[in-house]
């Protein structure tokens, strides 16, 4: 076999792999929709499950042989976010006094490009939205005693801290 034939075969294998990955992504999103239907009777259902999401990421990082931890995080945070949106629309409500573009970019990377973004006039407005609606409040400063679950810190790819996320989360101990 010559080099050109080998290149064509490898390209075909890559294309077939891409098709398989797309099929699996579509299946994952479909299953997330089925999960929403299965939980429909769950009073106060929230599609946010921070502990489960963290466990998924950690499990996959441990299993990876060639994929970097960053690649795992970027891809699966997006997949998890797409699945979360399939369970019911959520929004990001952001507040930042500086570097608004940076906090928005980090929030989208952390919670998915599928989620709608709005801006609040104040931290209190963002937190109030998270208390009342299916909203993730992303703020430029940490808050105490908000009555919401902390979803953790938001960081740039280089590790710089840019914000904190909060939302109303159904007790994870009582949900599948």
- C-alpha closest to that of 81 among 21, 45, 29, 149: 29
Structural domain boundaries enclosing 32:
3-174
In this structure, the number of other CB atoms found within 10 A of the CB of residue 121 comes to: 8
The pTM of this model reads 0.84
Domain count, the chain: 1
Distance between CA atoms of 104 and 139, rounded to whole angstroms? Answer: 10
Give residue 121's Cα distance to chain centre: 24
- C-alpha closest to that of 87 among 151, 25, 35, 28: 35
Q: What is the pLDDT of residues 124-176, one digit of tens each?
A: 999 999 999 999 999 999 999 889 999 999 999 899 999 999 999 876 544 44
Q: What is the pLDDT of residues 112-121, one digit of tens each?
A: 998 999 999 9
């Amino acid at each position: 076999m010559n080099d050109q034939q080998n290149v064509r075969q490898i390209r075909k294998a890559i294309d077939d792999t891409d098709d398989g990955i797309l099929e699996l992504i579509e299946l994952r999103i479909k299953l997330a929709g089925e999960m929403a239907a299965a939980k429909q009777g769950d009073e106060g259902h929230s599609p946010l499950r921070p502990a489960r999401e963290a466990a998924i990421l950690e499990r996959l990082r441990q299993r990876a042989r060639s994929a970097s931890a960053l690649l795992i995080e970027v891809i699966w945070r997006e997949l998890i976010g797409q699945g979360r949106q399939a369970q019911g629309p959520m929004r990001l409500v952001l507040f930042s006094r500086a570097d608004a573009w940076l906090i928005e970019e980090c929030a989208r990377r952390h919670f998915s490009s599928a989620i709608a973004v709005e801006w609040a006039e104040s931290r209190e407005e963002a937190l109030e939205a998270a208390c009342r609606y299916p909203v993730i409040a992303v703020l430029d400063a940490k808050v105490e005693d908000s009555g919401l679950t902390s979803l953790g810190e938001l960081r740039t790819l280089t590790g710089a801290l840019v914000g904190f996320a909060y939302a109303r989360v159904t007790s994870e101990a009582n949900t599948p």
